[in-house]
């Protein structure tokens, strides 16, 4: 579990300088760097550096998505959409996407969601459960990070199901054990450790995934301020991921 | 998962009459009854009907207790002690037992706990973490069912560890995702379904467990009122499990 | 493991009469029958009664097919093709199909094989290993049942890989432990027990699989003799599965 | 799987000089060296460098030994006895030890075997199956490395069981798929990679295992020739492991 090594963990941009620089020093590089395969598309690889393994490891693998299962992903931001793309490796029967933004939900349908729910009416839990004929979902992936979305996951998970948390939370949430104590559920948290990078590289090379779908904007290096602005106002700009070209 | 069959679940004493009767009808008996092995001790088998599989399935199996791992069990009542007895099947390096009652903690040491912590001083979390040289525990088993004991489990679980809930909760608890979101932890809930009964029968026959340790009192059938009284005042009577003899 | 119940196992057409009759008695029906979903295609469901769960359980699940992995299937008969269809639930990077019959290999490519190898030249092992850049395959599925095809699997499996046997063997095979003892491989055998039927029904309903691809011929009930003839001479008739219509 | 790294594998004494020297260079030392815990018994640690992880990883972990299961270990040499010691971490109901040497079988009983079988009469398979009331064993561990002992494992494994090979084989063995194809068995091979060393260190520190049981002889460094002689004639000297003292 090298995301929690006593000498490792989240280092770049956290305990040492980040990588927006001409030269970078990468601690533990012998365990965390991978050669770029011949002929690989470098823009696609940028998506593999963080967002795809986050959605895949914390959401899909921890959530134990299985062939024929029913999945809900709460949050259609970049990381939720990364979970949506990588969940399809396991051929779930249904993937229900929940968000407040109809633009993102439309994008989710293009990315493979079988149903979408706008949670703006406060009835998302009822709607999702109804979509599953009352059973609930096998996997609920939390990709927002606030109490309301985590509680939504508690309300839609079926007996025997899993809630896989990806969201970065800033406060505690209410865990309704008075309802869940006897329902055989599993809740997981995880910091991405990119152990899935070789798998994702194989899947990219064999064209089982097109991570460039996540790229909405491109900027030259001298426009980097605009790039940050665009990403900061994603609701208006509909930005998912922004590429800075050399 | 037959604890959650659409036509199954908790039936006896819940949706039909229980078994304190001369004759009982057992629904789904073809999946839930086991022959008594020749020469088996019937008192030991009484412990196998509920408490041992509860501690084993919901606590030990869900908690993924492993050889060499560090386990804490919060709550030294009968079900916590059942988890203590069955956790030893996997040879953890340490089993730390937490309770408010020194009598029960003394019993826990006799049953195999390697350390005990009386949580009466409000410093149980610090004490447990200190016992693990600051690392925390690999498995925290919650066997009480109130918010304070569940939060204690959140405070002592190591990165990568598991909180296995056994307690029957009557209210929600606070889940501190603001600390736990990146710590790779797993939380599980489960209703015992006795799928482990054949395993426990084998272990009983091969003398790997002595479930009669849990029996503290015996009453004749015509003293059944006293039996209930004794169990109801367990703090004073030091009762764990009470046997009614025919 | 109900394919090996002391009172179960392979019963129909083996220890009691089979199902080519107007009425049949199904022992253990309470555990082995499933309701037909509304609107389901009955011809597709015929494929779910035996061949798809066999390929899925004995080949794909036992073979631990994973996203991004490399799979070889030796034998492109109906059960090998069923393994090919169901392996795709897990998005392997490559599926290499090996057979002696170019017609079946052409069908395999239509069903999703990424490469095919005709083993008629006796060099199948070299060819497969070359297709994997010398590494070997993560999963080798044996779907023939003779010593030569099993040994082919031994020759192409990578260190850490799995050989999943589906073939019904009539004689012993040579296991080259002098080469394999230190290569961390796993070999599995299994009798299908249809535990995957609910999963396959979900996948059928959500159109993740089209089992009707396996149906090559249809006969009326009074042509049943022709149907058996057609299936018996599959090499010439190119028959995979034959449907008898009422 | 670092026993099969492209730049790793078995190096010491194989592709570079071994460790019977005053100074040694350890390739990949950053992944394969562990600090000695304070107060540890160094002789016990010598057993942890090779023989215990071999028995534990290749035999016990690969063999999926479980609480209540029935285990047979074929071969009571040092590595078979290491499997016997480490199998007990999982509380199997029975451990049956098979060997030709009554001295080693007597030692096996002292180390925890619940039954022993001398295979000299050629009836070991019948005897083992009889000891299991006709069922066969859940785990058969092969710790010899010749065809006869591997075939013995094939003859005693129960449906659903596992054969875990530890033996270093010099020739092929006969795999009786004509009997085993439908019995849901798993066969595993593995080269020890000492990934279990931290676990074994924890178990040693908590006194769950006494590896010094395996040490039968001690020699001074200037008697090293006698030490090799003693180990070479283990049948007469009853040597298991020989310690060279500085």
Tell me the per-residue pLDDT of A147-196, one tens digit each, with 9 for 90 and over.
999 999 999 999 999 999 999 999 999 999 999 999 999 999 999 888 89
Give contacts of A 114-173 with B, CB under 8 A: 145, 150, 159-160, 165, 167-173
Do A203 and C66 count as a contact with CB atoms less than 8 A apart? Answer: no
Asked whether the beta carbons of A156 and A125 are under 8 A apart, the reply is yes
pLDDT > 90 in chain A, percent: 78
Q: Is residue B177 part of a domain?
A: yes
What confidence tier does C29 reach under pLDDT thresholds 50, 70, 90?
confident
Q: Which of A66, A93, A203 has its CB closest to that of C93?
A: A203
Q: Is residue A59 part of a domain?
A: yes
pLDDT > 90 in chain C, percent: 78
What pLDDT does residue B5 have?
56
Q: Are residues D13 and D95 in the same domain?
A: no
Q: Are residues B115 and B182 in the same domain?
A: yes
Q: What is chain D's pLDDT, residue by residue, as a tens digit (246 residues)? A: 555 655 555 666 666 777 777 777 777 777 678 888 888 888 999 999 889 999 999 999 999 999 999 999 999 999 999 999 999 999 999 999 999 999 999 999 999 999 999 999 999 999 999 999 999 999 999 999 999 999 999 999 999 999 999 999 999 999 999 999 999 999 999 999 888 999 999 999 999 999 999 999 999 999 999 999 999 999 899 999 999 987
Q: Whole domain around residue D92: which residue ranges? A: 51-188
The Cα–Cα gap between D117 and D128 comes to 7
The Cα–Cα gap between A198 and A196 comes to 6
**All residues at 6 or more sequence positions from D103 whose CB lies less than 8 Å from its CB, including other chains:** D238
What confidence tier does C10 reach under pLDDT thresholds 50, 70, 90?
low
Average pLDDT over residues B189-199: 91
Angle of CA points B100, B102, B105, to nearest 5°? 90
What pLDDT does residue C34 have?
87
Q: Which residue would you say has higher pLDDT here, D41 or C139?
A: C139
What pLDDT does residue B13 have?
64
Asked whether the beta carbons of A212 and A47 are under 8 A apart, the reply is yes
B181 touches chain A (CB under 8 A): yes
DSSP classification of residue D16: B
**All residues at 6 or more sequence positions from D163 whose CB lies less than 8 Å from its CB, including other chains:** D63, D140, D141, D142, D150, D153, D154, D157, D185, D186, D187, D188
β-pair type (D70-74, C241-245): unpaired
Q: Which of B1, B171, B180 has its CB closest to that of A189?
A: B180
For B72, phi then psi, to 5°, come to -120, 135
C208 touches chain A (CB under 8 A): yes
The torsion region of residue B91 among left (phi > 0), alpha (psi -120 to 50) and beta comes to: left
| Neighbouring C-beta atoms of residue B42, cutoff 10 Å | 8
Do A90 and C94 count as a contact with CB atoms less than 8 A apart? Answer: no
**All chains having 3 or more CB pairs closer than 8 angstroms to chain C:** A, D
Q: Which of A145, A169, A172 has its CB closest to that of B174?
A: A172
Q: Are residues B18 and B68 in the same domain?
A: no
Q: Are residues B21 and B61 in the same domain?
A: no
Q: Is residue C198 part of a domain?
A: no
Q: Which of D1, D150, D183 has its CB closest to that of C160?
A: D1
Q: Are residues B27 and B107 in the same domain?
A: no
What pLDDT does residue B23 have?
78
Domain CATH for B142: 3.40.50.720
Q: Are residues A5 and A116 in the same domain?
A: no
What confidence tier does A24 reach under pLDDT thresholds 50, 70, 90?
confident
Q: Are residues D64 and D120 in the same domain?
A: yes
The Cα–Cα gap between D82 and D101 comes to 17
Q: Are residues A6 and A88 in the same domain?
A: no
Do C199 and A66 count as a contact with CB atoms less than 8 A apart? Answer: yes
Average pLDDT over residues B177-204: 94
Q: Is residue C234 part of a domain?
A: no
Angle between helices D147-156 and D124-131 (to 10 degrees): 30
Do C91 and A94 count as a contact with CB atoms less than 8 A apart? Answer: no
A183 touches chain B (CB under 8 A): yes
* Among C124, C149, C127, C128, CA closest to C138: C128
What pLDDT does residue A55 have?
97
pLDDT of A9 over the 80 cut: no
C93 touches chain A (CB under 8 A): yes
- How near does any CA of chain C get to the CA of D73, in Å? 17
Q: Are residues A18 and A129 in the same domain?
A: no
Q: Is residue A179 part of a domain?
A: yes
What pLDDT does residue B8 have?
52
β-pair type (A186-188, A157-165): parallel
pLDDT of C67 over the 60 cut: yes
Structure ipTM over 0.90, yes or no: yes
Average pLDDT over residues B10-32: 70
In this prediction the pTM is 0.94
Most confident stretch, A7-11, B8-12, C43-47, C128-132: C128-132
pLDDT of C39 over the 90 cut: no
D190 touches chain C (CB under 8 A): yes
pLDDT of C241 over the 70 cut: yes
pLDDT of B1 over the 80 cut: no
The Cα–Cα gap between B84 and A98 comes to 42
What pLDDT does residue A3 have?
59
Average pLDDT over residues B57-80: 97
Give contacts of B 47-66 with D, CB under 8 A: 66
Count of domains observed in chain C: 2
* Among D97, D89, D93, D99, CA closest to D72: D97
Q: Is residue A60 part of a domain?
A: yes
Q: Are residues D29 and D61 in the same domain?
A: no
What confidence tier does B40 reach under pLDDT thresholds 50, 70, 90?
confident
Pick the last residue of a domain from B173, B188, B203.
Answer: B188
- How near does any CA of chain A get to the CA of C200, in Å? 7
* Helical H segments across chain B, by residue range: 29-32, 42-48, 51-53, 78-87, 102-110, 124-131, 147-156, 177-180, 197-205, 224-232, 234-237
Q: Is residue D198 part of a domain?
A: no
Please tell me the least confidently modeled range out of A44-53, B33-42, C81-90, C143-152: B33-42
* Among B191, B193, B174, B131, CA closest to B156: B131
Q: Are residues C64 and C184 in the same domain?
A: yes
- Going C220 to C221 to C225 to C227, the CA torsion angle's sign is positive
What pLDDT does residue D4 have?
61
Do A208 and C67 count as a contact with CB atoms less than 8 A apart? Answer: yes
Residues of C in contact with D161 (CB under 8 A): none
D206 touches chain B (CB under 8 A): yes
Q: Is residue C38 part of a domain?
A: no
Q: Are residues D173 and D60 in the same domain?
A: yes
């Amino acid at each position: 579990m090298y995301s929690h090594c006593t000498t490792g963990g989240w280092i770049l941009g956290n305990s040492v300088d980040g990588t927006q620089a001409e030269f970078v020093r990468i601690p533990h590089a012998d365990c965390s760097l991978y050669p770029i395969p011949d002929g690989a598309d470098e823009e696609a690889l940028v998506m593999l550096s963080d967002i795809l393994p986050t959605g895949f490891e914390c959401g899909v693998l921890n959530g134990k998505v299985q062939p024929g299962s029913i999945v809900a992903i709460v949050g259609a931001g970049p990381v939720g959409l990364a979970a949506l793309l990588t969940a399809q490796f396991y051929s779930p029967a249904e993937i229900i996407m929940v968000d407040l933004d109809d633009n993102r939900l439309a994008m989710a349908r293009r990315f493979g969601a079988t149903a979408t729910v706008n949670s703006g009416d406060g009835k998302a839990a009822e709607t999702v459960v109804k979509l599953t004929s009352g059973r609930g979902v096998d996997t609920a992936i939390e990709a927002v990070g606030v109490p309301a979305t985590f509680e939504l996951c508690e309300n839609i998970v079926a007996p025997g199901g899993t809630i896989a948390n990806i969201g970065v939370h800033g406060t505690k949430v209410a865990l309704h054990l008075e309802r869940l104590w006897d329902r055989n559920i599993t809740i997981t948290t995880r910091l991405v450790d990119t152990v899935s990078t070789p798998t994702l590289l194989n899947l990219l090379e064999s064209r089982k995934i097109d991570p460039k779908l996540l790229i909405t904007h491109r900027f030259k290096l001298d426009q980097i301020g605009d790039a940050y602005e665009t990403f900061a106002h994603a609701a208006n700009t509909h930005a998912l991921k922004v590429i800075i070209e050399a």
